[in-house]
Amino acid sequence: MTVQRMLDAKGKEVATILSNATVGEATRRLSELKIGALIVSDDGRSIAGILSERDIVSHLGREGAAALERKVAEVMTTKVITCSPGNTTEEVMQAMTKGRFRHMPVVANGVLTGVISIGDVVKRRIADVETEAAELRRFIAS
């Protein structure tokens, strides 16, 4: 299964936030959308960083409520690992496991085109395993 097929199934909507927004604004947006990360982009096409719940909690733990007034650009992760639409589920899963992160932006021709979460990958992997099991049962029964 490719990333493109996962995006086709789930949709290509990407939740972004401007780098000069506050962490408090980002926190409200994450809560409203019920998601775990926002792609930081000032133009909606390029990636300046990614802001995850983990980034926010880390700064809140060190700074307390004052962290909510900081700019997203000060708190975001700037070293963002991306994938392309042609990457496989297995490749994305390996990269997420190795890097210990749960959200991966999808970039095609230098442009942000989607986001894959670990939940998307696990859901796809479970569907693949269930399909394989059903095919094996049909093979054995025939």
Q: What is the pLDDT of residues 37-54, one digit of tens each?
A: 999 999 999 999 999 999
- DSSP 8-state class, residue 122: H
In the chain, count H helices and then E strands. Answer: 6, 5
Cα distance between residue 34 and residue 28, in whole Å? 10
Q: What is the pTM of this model?
A: 0.88
**The predicted structure's pLDDT at residue 142:** 79
| Cα dist from 15 to 44, 122, 124, 134, whole Å | 9, 20, 21, 36
